[in-house]
Structure 1
């Protein structure tokens, strides 16, 4: 172990468990938690929630307070779910060369500290739900339960990818209910688009761990059916995602601004699958993060463009 410089507090060997004493140390600690939950991946689902917010506001109006608490709820729910997933999977992550460097198995963060983080994030989510209304508050605990349950799905079923897609697809529906206080079938198209979009690229991502999943008895479509069949499954699921984007256009009577965005999303989905070669999975990371983040942002841009066209017209 390299000794700490004079006057600089050394990091706890078990993880970041102490109260930070300096601003730089606090920032470093926050960064560790952010990496644990892959905070940058919020860009996948958040644009869908914001799109639902715009669509709900069009029909029912939306306040600044609602926008604030929806954002807080999104961050709280996702942080709690990802933190719980890291705790549940710590044993597998430690044995997998691709994930052994993650914060908990590498010792940069203790399991206890992660549990406290999950508890606090859950409390933030429940508080935000309560501020949004009685119905969101009553639904907050069941939603957390569903989010946590996903972490164990790959121990039992190769449909774990769809489980992940489902729990993330709750974001647009929850946002709609938080704003309007009622259910509408129309928003289900946006949730279905998010569910199939997430499910498809999670299958692509899981192709990297085929050998490890098989050795550990974990379930995934690539491990169960093989990489080539998994890639075809992802293509078909993403075709359904694209159809769902088009149904959003129909259900909400969108303008050409959204249709243009949907066309761009279709091209990016094709490009994503062109990048993924069953004989060479080295570009999966590009397809997973870079292309998918652009797809999400393009969706939101299309919804905002539609809103601007409506206001101008």
Structure 2
């Protein structure tokens, strides 16, 4: 039994399951707004399964594709995909199972979700290889998570609404912005190994500036989302709070690069949770 428990822990470390917190709140924000309130337990379960399986697929493929890179990077050399705890065949099976689960769940939701599940998987998988030839990989990661709100509204209403696109654009620039900050940790490694990233191409100062622009765009798009969706004061509070939290994130990173993990995981994790709670409160107040 302990062997299986250890293997589960290894797979959890492989994909960092707890980081699903970045995409889940915005899926449910879209579902709450689309349903104008509670969207039902069935869609709740489907939403969680779709989000987790999609992320597991993307992270599993990323770890598989990056085994050679991760083995040479001191920051990543102890990952299960590198140190032998999980072999390549097991990772490929994990990727295939999660892809199947995602498509199957999409099929059970509605036909539009099903047909869009295939290009979504393609986008999710493309990030793993993009950084080998383009510094736009940060944007691809943003798009990967930014698809979450659109997926949420499709699940509820089988359509793509203007406000969901604005919400997604906010997520795209939010994720791309904090990925820029996170990638500052590997700037020297990327330069030495000819990996394409904005920090390795333009330097840390330019990266911090571009990240701040991206996060400014996030706040703008989230404000447009609240306006177009005709939400109320609690949703506007979520936008203002997000602006302050992103500002604090940049303050932490600019002050000390060793605070990047704290900025990346803690601040961004709470941002999504608070945004979701405030949107729910907004719908309850109607």
8 Å CA contact 1:43–1:296 kept in 2: the answer is yes
Q: State which structure, 1 or 2, has the greater radius of gyration over its C-alpha atoms.
A: 1
Runs of 4 or more, structure 1, over 4 Å off, are none
Partner of 1:230: 207
Partner SS, residue 169 of structure 2: helix
What is the DSSP-based 3-state SS (H/G/I as helix, E as strand, rest coil) of the residue aligned with 1:48?
helix
What is aligned with 1:95?
Answer: 72
Provide the rounded CA distance (Å) in 2 between the counterparts of 1:258 and 1:209: 36
Q: Cα offset for 1:169?
A: 0.5
Q: Comparing 66-75 with 188-197, which one deviates more in the overlay? A: 66-75
Distance 1:62 1:105 in 2: 41
1:216 corresponds in structure 2 to 193
Residue 302 (1) aligns with residue 269 (2): no
Q: May I ask how many residue pairs the two structures share in their alignment?
A: 286
- Per-residue CA distance 1:157-202 (angstroms, 9 max, x = gap): 1111011001111111011112111121111111011101000000
Match of 2:44? 67
Using the TM superposition, give the Cα deviation of residue 286 of structure 1 relative to its aligned residue in structure 2, in angstroms.
0.5
Mapping 1:142-157, distance limit 5 Å: 142-157=119-134
- Following TM superposition, by how much is the alpha carbon of 1:70 offset from its aligned partner in structure 2, in angstroms? 1.8
Could you tell which deviates more after superposition, 90-99 or 239-248? Answer: 239-248
Q: Is the 8 A contact 1:146 1:167 kept in 2?
A: yes
TM-score normalised by length of structure 1: 0.89
Report the aligned-residue RMSD.
1.3
- Tell me if structure 1 keeps the 8 A contact 2:123–2:140: no
Listed as ranges, the matches of 1:164-243 within 5 Å are 164-243=141-220
Using the TM superposition, give the Cα deviation of residue 25 of structure 1 relative to its aligned residue in structure 2, in angstroms: 2.9
1:8-56 residue CA offsets vs partner (Å, 9 max, x unmatched): xxxxxxxxxxxxxx1x332222121111001111111110001011011
Counterparts of 1:273 and 1:63 in 2: how far apart (Å)? 38
CA drift of 1:62 comes to: 3.1
* CA–CA separation in structure 2 for the residues paired with 1:63 and 1:266: 31
Could you tell me how far apart the structure 1 residues matched to 2:187 and 2:71 are?
A: 16
The alignment's TM-score, normalised by the length of structure 2, stands at 0.97
CA contact (8 A) 2:23 2:51 kept: no
Residue aligning to 1:16:
none
The answer to whether residue 29 in structure 2 is matched with residue 31 in structure 1 is no
The answer for the alignment partner of 2:19 in structure 1 is: 41
Do 2:57 and 2:95's aligned partners in 1 also have CA atoms closer than 8 Å? yes
Structure 1, unmatched stretches of 5+, are: 1-21
* Unaligned segments of structure 2, at least 5 residues: none
Instruction: State whether residues 262 and 302 of structure 1, in contact with CA within 8 Å, keep that contact through their aligned partners in structure 2.
Output: no
Tell me how far apart the structure 2 counterparts of residues 303 and 25 of structure 1 sit (CA, whole Å).
Answer: 42
Distance 2:226 2:162 in 1: 14
- Give the Cα separation in 2 of the matches to 1:131 and 1:86: 29
